[in-house]
Amino acid sequence: MNVFELTRALIDIESITNNEEAVGAFLLEYLTPLAARFGGRVEPIEVEPRRFNIFAQWGERLTVTLSTHMDTVPPFFISREDEEHIWGRGACDTKGIIAAMIKAVEAMLEAGERDFGLLFVVGEERTSAGAYRAAKTPRGSRYIVNGEPTGNRLALGSKGSLRYEVVATGKMAHSAYPELGDSAIHKLIDALADMRRMPLPVDPLLGPSTLNIGTLSGGRAPNVVADEARADIMIRLVTDSAETKAALARVAEGRVELREVIEIPALRLNSLDGIETTVVAFTTDIPAFGGQWGEPFLIGPGSIHVAHTLEERVPKQQLVEAVQIYRRMVKHLCKRESK
């Protein structure tokens, strides 16, 4: 399969987070003959039952690892293509990236190049479970090239994320006599409104920190004063989280409970000569790897602006370019390490 065909084959395997088994099996079957033919090895690394990472290596030294995630967000929809794009769930986030990385590896192997690997992980869209598992089983990689849609530009930095569940409790009453109750919904929306008004840090490179209220639920019925309510909020971090956490705690005190779900720090990343750069606002698996897979770089074809949407697509030209970019990066980093 060429890079377009492989991208479509991967897209057409539904792999919404927690259901990555089928795409993992496909990649294992695809890479096993490649490993056998060129003296490499490929293995599944269990994360939890029916969920596993895929790792492959060629050469005695693991200098560079090309890595991205296998899971996607819902809803699933199959691939299609036109002259300029391949469409479908995961087209840019990140089935096209997987295909480009594999095709780069195939080209390098045919040219006699070695000392690199592939690492495809589960769970990035939720908790980075696969990357955290990989961090516990490092293989000595000196550099990791993480694939996310950056328009084939190296990201100099990426925002972090801080996620909370905000919980309010109250007392039920008949809505005709609200003074007999205590509305959890009113508490919650008042606290959320104050959170939205909080000043948040700004970084010269990464820009402003932002807050999003992603989900909101609660109450029993229109004619009942609500005794419970909750919301999920996500803050995109651009600096250390201490100041933001303290501000949230002040707003929440005596009104709502804050339950921290996950924190991923903001990142500063490196560049390479000859490759355009950018800055991204999304978070990645890189912090979860904890440095255990080497110095990180972040780059991939496609635009994050269409990821997670019903218009998700990846430009064919960028897929072709990504194959060459990944190959050039691996060659450059291997040469750097050999000095």
Q: Give the N- to C-terminal CA distance of the chain in Å, as an integer.
A: 36
- CA distance linking residue 143 with residue 221, whole number of Å: 55
- CA distance linking residue 318 with residue 145, whole number of Å: 17
Is the bond preceding 94 in cis, omega lying within 30 degrees of 0?
yes
What phi and psi, each to the nearest 5 degrees, are found at residue 315? -65, 135
Q: What share of the chain is helix, strand, coil (3-state, %, to 5)?
A: 30, 30, 35
- Residues 132/137/140/143 CA torsion (nearest 10 deg): -20
- CA distance linking residue 285 with residue 43, whole number of Å: 20
Token representation of residue 96 = 């096209």
- CA distance linking residue 81 with residue 319, whole number of Å: 13
Catalytic-labelled residue, pool 20, 124, 148, 312: 124
Q: CB of 162 within 8 A of CB of 315?
A: no
Annotated active-site residue 124? The verdict is yes
Q: Considering only CA atoms, which of 310, 305, 317 is closest in space to residue 85?
A: 317
Cβ atoms within 10 A of the Cβ of 19, count? 17
- CA distance linking residue 218 with residue 225, whole number of Å: 10
Residues 6+ apart with CB under 8 A from 87: 79, 80, 81, 311, 312, 313
- CA distance linking residue 264 with residue 63, whole number of Å: 26
Q: CB of 194 within 8 A of CB of 246?
A: no
Active-site residue list: 124
